[in-house]
Structure 1
Amino acid sequence: MLKLNNKNKLFYSILSLLLLGLLASTLVAYSEVRHNLHKSLQEEQLLKANLASVQLSRWFNDNLDIIANFAKTMSDSDQPLRQNSNFEFYLNQTFKAKNFYYLYYGLESDGYSWFVNWDIPPGYDPRTRPWYQASKAAGKPVMTDPYLGFDANNQRYIAITAPIFRNEQFTGVVSGDLALDFVTQTVLDIKLGMGGYAFLAEQNGNILIHPNQELHNTGIKQLPGLNNRSLSSILSSSDKTLLNTQDFLYCSFPIANSDWYLVFTIPKRILNSVIVSNTLSLLAYFLAIFSFIALLFYTLNRKVLTPLMEFLEQDAITGLPNKKHFKQLVADQYLNPGQDGMLQIISIDDFNQLTATYPSQVINELQKQICSRIQSSFNDRSILGVFSESRFIGYSPNTEQLEERDRILQLQQLNDNLNRVYRIADHQLNCSIRIGASFFPQHGDGIESLIDKAFSVMALAKKQRKTDISIYSPDIDSQLSNDLLIASAIRNALRNKEFHMVYQPQYDFSNHKFNAVEALIRWNSKELQRTVSPYEFIPVAEASSLIIKLGYAVIEMVGQQISEWNKQEIKFDRVSINISPKQLQQDDFQLQLETILKKYGVSPDQVELEITETTLMEHPENSIHKLELLQQAGFTIAIDDFGTGYSSMQYLADIPLSKLKIDRAFITELETNKKNQLIVKMITDMALAMNFTVLAEGAETLDQVKRLNTMGCHMIQGYYYAKPMPSTDLLSFIRESHNSAAIGEFINGTIE
């Protein structure tokens, strides 16, 4: 018998535990994977069924709309109904679309009828036909039950009919026939996969169309697993209904404007076989991966793990402890023993601009030199770490029991040292350094609290453009409390989708139409229990990464709205979206933007991106490059609030710009303020010379509009024409404006 030493016993014990864990995990995974696969496959089939039912319902509804619209035209017309060449021409043109087998109308007074493609036999009276009687009885557009045609081929038809009313009196019927064979083939062509098929049934349970022709005109109760109770459950709802039987999965969808239901049947036997096959495949992959991990874990030893842990705990460029390791070191060495000290966040404010200007080798060397200068200012017991690529974090224990003013002096000396010129290769770099500090234990009893306090005071100082060195004090909490409440509410609002969009139309002098709109965000906060102005919550979002999430939420909502307008054939030349500086500087901004718009089927040429002068001046070269790529992708670019910033004329000439939006500050007193008039005229003349479109914001009076038109502005946006409004109100405004000769081509090309 083989004897095992203690080392082997330990090895096999660990191996046995791993195998037991593998077995237990496999059993749990099998149960979970099988359940999820069953659910996902079932949902996949139901999604296919839903799409098929929507397509069939849309096809019926499109044909119903054709008949209903023609019936309405005849009802509203003052022309005679008998032998009317206009009506006959319209029916002939409609018939050429080959939607209908027959197309005709009949009159109530004397039985007069006219068919596009059928010679009416003597004695034919449409009033005796089932399609005529069904439409007359319903008093609205309907689809009739299948009936036997009057022609010689004994063809069965489904009639789509609509009544004609004149002076509220029933006058006749317009009807189009669909061959039942064609509808049957359409239903039978629906492919679900996994042995699934579709059939058409009436609400009373009579089967109209079924892949098994022997079941035509029989009761649905003859199908497996169906009885009177199940029949009532799947053929009585106005929405999708799902029914599970022992052998089949049934799902019914109502067909609009009829008492028909499209019923889908999926055999569970085939569904279960696919589930078993996929489940076993997934488990095989799972077992292989788990076994590989177990083997890899066994083969590792301390010679591999120790260097790896050291690597994971250090910054690759400077060799300093990373953020996580720094926190642990400070907590273990100073905070837990109760050694008071000062925590410092040292931030390179212009780091993004530096990285956009210099190659990575120069930036890496810069980080090393900054690290060296900080270490030269720290004593031997201080700990320095890397918080992020643009920030260092340090903790200096107060072993010498220095007064607060002495520690502030140390911070000032450190800041002076860090703000000296950095010489790297052939470059001379100047950095903008900002320091935020908090004291232990006065400002917090844990590392996270100290970091939060240092960051909050530094962020507030930056926002208020105060000193580069800031030390936390309790008074700062009250200053930050409102911003923190709003920031917290923004996060919850994003999760709860509390934000919504309004749209302000833009008037074009050249064609006297509202050709474009600007999308503006609004917020009714449940948490704050009030409506929060954009002037209040956008600066808070701008001060953090929330503006990026908020920006993508805006793009998502606007993309969805444009998609809905496209489906309704409502066309604007451009829909403007405001883009924040932080969002534009994201490496994947264009990819994210295009992905969202593509999801909703929106073309880039329908979207105008508005940036501010601040956006341009923070990172000019990088911003221009990004804007050029966006323009090449089809987007148009506009500068918002022009005239309030400090744009360089050189950069303005380099931007792939299409539009300048003059800030409302110059428009408010345009009638009386000569300087504003001069500024607006200068901006307009410059823009015209550079071939830019000029839009003036904030016009509220007729006199302002007239002056702006005279000065050469192309477009106006302001309360004189319209306030920002929800999309539903926008369409009403557009139509009303058209009626007053101020609207152009938006719906179906041209409204006449």
Structure 2
Amino acid sequence: MRRVERSPFIVAVSKELSEVRASHVRSSARVWGSIAVLASVLGIATWGLVRGFQRQQLLFSALVNADDENRSLIAQLTEEKARAVALASFDHLTGLHNRRMFNELAVSHLEVARRSRKHYALIYLDLDKFKLINDTLGHHVGDRLLQVVAERLANGLRGADIIGRMGGDEFAVLLTELDSAESIDAIAKKLLLQLSQPYNEIEGHNVQTSPSMGIAMFPRDGHDVVNLCRNADSAMYMAKRRGRGCYAYYDASLRPLEDRALRFQGELLKAIDTGQLVLHFQPKVRLADYRIVGLEALVRWTHPELGLIHPGEFIPVAEETGLIIPLGYWVMQACCAQQAEWKALGVDLMPVAFNLSPRQLRDASLPGQVAKLLEKHGIGAKEIEIEITENSLVEPMEMAQHVLNELHEMGVLIGLDDFGTGYSNLSQVRELPINHLKIDRSFTNEIRTSKEVGVIVTSMITLAHSLNMKVIAEGVELLDQLVQLKTAGCDEVQGYFLSRPLPPEDVLKLMQQRTLLPQ
């Protein structure tokens, strides 16, 4: 029995104090065990939360990094795409539109043109003698020349016009939204003038070239870009046949001539190999006594189906295809063989002149080839005469000068053909072993009607004589021309007024009579 202090109650205790204490100890142990378990759970949970938070932080950091990487990748892909578009759209050398992009832009502009009353036209052009410049001065000069041409095109045209490099030295221009057809002609003349100006300091060289341009009108000459390009290209080759450095409009009636030129490309080599080529000869007459003092050999093609083809038709094809080398060798060989034949007949020989192409002029083996032909046919060096054009005298002149000096030392006569139409001057000519100058037929044609041309021709003759060179005028077709040339002091003439080119058997008769008086 236990009395509770200050209480009327008396508590009866049925257990011993030791048991109560033991029970209390066990109860306390359970409580502390629960607390320990709870603490462990809380610790594990806290550790898990911390780890989870750390993982979230790592994940967040990774996401941030991934986002940065994605942004960088997107920027890189954008740059690559822009670069790819540029590569696919622009010519890497000139910065102009390439063929694909030019065609795409032209298609879209022609769609507008179909609903417009404005005038549209396509100009196709390339550079005269570009292959010669590339071959003689090097591709680095050719590349730089193309860049300068592109700059001149861009500066000479309006922002509304489309310019493209179509490959090699070929360019195309789509003229858009012009008020009149006359504007097309004005732009063509402007481009011709700008692109014909000298190209100074091109990789250390002064280069001269000019464009040949063909023009196709929309929709007259084509309803789409394919036909416009094709017909403008045809017109460009017509410009080349007219003498280069000019432009021509497409003429559908000339299409058969284009097809004929394409046919020549495939058949010319066969003609050289199978004896389809022949030589005709035009006399050179001394004005002092009208004595025949020389002949010029002119090649003709006797085609089995097309008949006699004149050189104006197939020589440009030979130059474009590289067949000018075998053709030039054939002419040299045929001239020597013909001289040998006349010599065997007991005829007093006179020099026979033939033209040398610019590519032949830069062939170091040419003098050796000439020497072998002379020896083979038993004729002297002074019985042949080599004529070169002014345009052959482009830089570098070292190889050409070396070849000409060797030929001169052999005794071969050398003449400068078409003088006055190219880019040389008499100071350049003075450095070369030239025996005579041949005044171009364009001056002969105008000497009757233009006082200025008469003065120019007289000056040419005077200067040439001061350099101990003879002067020959070609293309004489009228008595008035002959009289004025004789008055100006010209030494020799040739042309249809005196004699057209003749086959060998007819020339033989002239050689035997030795004189050719004006009729």
SS of 1:504's equivalent in the other structure is: strand
| Partner of residue 404, structure 2 | 627
How far is the alpha carbon of 1:570 from its aligned partner? 1.6
SS of 1:483's equivalent in the other structure is: helix
Taking structure 1 as the reference length, the TM-score comes to 0.37
SS of 2:500's equivalent in the other structure is: coil
How far is the alpha carbon of 1:589 from its aligned partner? 2.1
Matched, 1:704 2:478: no
| Partner of residue 55, structure 2 | none
| Partner of residue 499, structure 1 | 277
Taking the aligned partners of 1:553 and 1:636, their CA distance within structure 2 comes to 19
| Partner of residue 519, structure 1 | 297
Matched, 1:509 2:274: no
Taking the aligned partners of 1:655 and 1:410, their CA distance within structure 2 comes to 38
Taking the aligned partners of 1:502 and 1:410, their CA distance within structure 2 comes to 42
| Partner of residue 363, structure 2 | 586
Matched, 1:713 2:498: no
Taking the aligned partners of 2:282 and 2:414, their CA distance within structure 1 comes to 18
How far is the alpha carbon of 1:594 from its aligned partner? 2.2
| Partner of residue 600, structure 1 | 377
1:483 corresponds, among 261, 276, 282, to 261
The 5 A counterparts of 1:423-502 are 481-502=259-280
The 5 A counterparts of 1:105-504 are 481-504=259-282
| Partner of residue 112, structure 2 | none
Q: Are the aligned partners of 2:388 and 2:417 in contact in 1 as well (CA < 8 Å)?
A: yes
1:666 corresponds, among 443, 447, 460, to 443
How far is the alpha carbon of 1:564 from its aligned partner? 1.1
How far is the alpha carbon of 1:706 from its aligned partner? 2.2
| Partner of residue 25, structure 2 | none
How far is the alpha carbon of 1:460 from its aligned partner? 10
Q: Are the aligned partners of 2:132 and 2:358 in contact in 1 as well (CA < 8 Å)?
A: no
2:346 corresponds, among 569, 572, 576, to 569
How far is the alpha carbon of 1:741 from its aligned partner? 8.2
| Partner of residue 120, structure 2 | none
1:655–1:462 CA distance, 2 compared to 1 (3 A): farther
1:671–1:596 CA distance, 2 compared to 1 (3 A): same
1:728–1:690 CA distance, 2 compared to 1 (3 A): same
Matched, 1:680 2:457: yes
Q: Are the aligned partners of 2:137 and 2:395 in contact in 1 as well (CA < 8 Å)?
A: no
Q: Are the aligned partners of 2:336 and 2:374 in contact in 1 as well (CA < 8 Å)?
A: yes
Task: Report Cα offsets for 1:225-248 as digits up to 9, x if no partner.
Answer: xxxxxxxxxxxxxxxxxxxxxxxx
Could you say what the CA RMSD is over the residues aligned between the two structures, in angstroms? 4.5
Q: Are the aligned partners of 1:693 and 1:714 in contact in 2 as well (CA < 8 Å)?
A: yes
Q: Are the aligned partners of 1:638 and 1:660 in contact in 2 as well (CA < 8 Å)?
A: yes
Taking the aligned partners of 1:554 and 1:658, their CA distance within structure 2 comes to 21
Q: Are the aligned partners of 1:489 and 1:527 in contact in 2 as well (CA < 8 Å)?
A: no
Taking the aligned partners of 1:670 and 1:637, their CA distance within structure 2 comes to 26
Matched, 1:652 2:429: yes
How far is the alpha carbon of 1:714 from its aligned partner? 0.8
For residue 489 of structure 1, what is the amino acid of its counterpart? Answer: E
Runs of 4 or more, structure 1, over 4 Å off, are: 347-358, 408-412, 427-432, 457-466, 477-481
| Partner of residue 466, structure 2 | 689
1:351–1:556 CA distance, 2 compared to 1 (3 A): closer
1:487–1:705 CA distance, 2 compared to 1 (3 A): same
Taking the aligned partners of 1:537 and 1:409, their CA distance within structure 2 comes to 30
How far is the alpha carbon of 1:527 from its aligned partner? 4.2
Taking the aligned partners of 2:204 and 2:391, their CA distance within structure 1 comes to 26
| Partner of residue 247, structure 1 | none
1:614 corresponds, among 391, 397, 402, to 391
Quote the sequence identity (%): 31
| Partner of residue 336, structure 2 | 559
SS of 2:379's equivalent in the other structure is: coil
| Partner of residue 67, structure 2 | none
Taking the aligned partners of 1:589 and 1:737, their CA distance within structure 2 comes to 32
Q: Are the aligned partners of 2:282 and 2:297 in contact in 1 as well (CA < 8 Å)?
A: yes
For residue 505 of structure 1, what is the amino acid of its counterpart? Answer: P
How far is the alpha carbon of 1:353 from its aligned partner? 5.2
For residue 535 of structure 1, what is the amino acid of its counterpart? Answer: G
Taking the aligned partners of 1:430 and 1:666, their CA distance within structure 2 comes to 26
SS of 1:506's equivalent in the other structure is: strand
Task: Report Cα offsets for 1:507-527 as digits up to 9, x if no partner.
Answer: 113454111111111112114
The 5 A counterparts of 1:37-48 are none
| Partner of residue 77, structure 1 | none
Q: Are the aligned partners of 2:343 and 2:349 in contact in 1 as well (CA < 8 Å)?
A: no
Answer with 348-357 or 548-557: which moved more: 348-357
Q: Are the aligned partners of 1:658 and 1:692 in contact in 2 as well (CA < 8 Å)?
A: yes
Q: Are the aligned partners of 2:205 and 2:395 in contact in 1 as well (CA < 8 Å)?
A: no
How far is the alpha carbon of 1:574 from its aligned partner? 1.2
How far is the alpha carbon of 1:495 from its aligned partner? 2.1
Taking the aligned partners of 1:668 and 1:351, their CA distance within structure 2 comes to 31
Task: Report Cα offsets for 1:547-579 as digits up to 9, x if no partner.
Answer: 111111111111111001222232234111111
| Partner of residue 508, structure 2 | 731
For residue 487 of structure 1, what is the amino acid of its counterpart? Answer: Q
Taking the aligned partners of 2:235 and 2:367, their CA distance within structure 1 comes to 31
1:692–1:488 CA distance, 2 compared to 1 (3 A): same
Taking the aligned partners of 2:293 and 2:442, their CA distance within structure 1 comes to 24
SS of 1:647's equivalent in the other structure is: coil
Taking the aligned partners of 1:485 and 1:354, their CA distance within structure 2 comes to 27
Taking the aligned partners of 1:678 and 1:622, their CA distance within structure 2 comes to 34
Taking the aligned partners of 1:514 and 1:600, their CA distance within structure 2 comes to 23
Taking the aligned partners of 2:434 and 2:399, their CA distance within structure 1 comes to 15
How far is the alpha carbon of 1:544 from its aligned partner? 1.5
SS of 2:497's equivalent in the other structure is: coil
Q: Are the aligned partners of 2:206 and 2:395 in contact in 1 as well (CA < 8 Å)?
A: no
Taking the aligned partners of 1:631 and 1:718, their CA distance within structure 2 comes to 27
Taking the aligned partners of 1:703 and 1:464, their CA distance within structure 2 comes to 30
Taking the aligned partners of 1:409 and 1:539, their CA distance within structure 2 comes to 25
Determine which structure has greater relative contact order: mean sequence separation of CA pairs < 8 Å that are 6+ residues apart, divided by chain length.
Answer: 2
1:460–1:617 CA distance, 2 compared to 1 (3 A): farther
Q: Are the aligned partners of 1:542 and 1:582 in contact in 2 as well (CA < 8 Å)?
A: no
SS of 1:617's equivalent in the other structure is: coil
| Partner of residue 309, structure 2 | 532
1:355–1:494 CA distance, 2 compared to 1 (3 A): closer
1:463–1:623 CA distance, 2 compared to 1 (3 A): farther
For residue 276 of structure 2, what is the amino acid of its counterpart? Answer: E
1:691–1:409 CA distance, 2 compared to 1 (3 A): closer
SS of 2:471's equivalent in the other structure is: strand
Taking the aligned partners of 2:486 and 2:258, their CA distance within structure 1 comes to 45
For residue 499 of structure 1, what is the amino acid of its counterpart? Answer: L
In the alignment of these two chains, the number of paired residues is 317
How far is the alpha carbon of 1:595 from its aligned partner? 1.8
For residue 508 of structure 1, what is the amino acid of its counterpart? Answer: R
1:629–1:717 CA distance, 2 compared to 1 (3 A): same
Q: Are the aligned partners of 1:616 and 1:623 in contact in 2 as well (CA < 8 Å)?
A: yes
How far is the alpha carbon of 1:643 from its aligned partner? 1.1
How far is the alpha carbon of 1:429 from its aligned partner? 8.6
Taking the aligned partners of 1:639 and 1:586, their CA distance within structure 2 comes to 18
Taking the aligned partners of 1:741 and 1:671, their CA distance within structure 2 comes to 21
1:602–1:709 CA distance, 2 compared to 1 (3 A): same
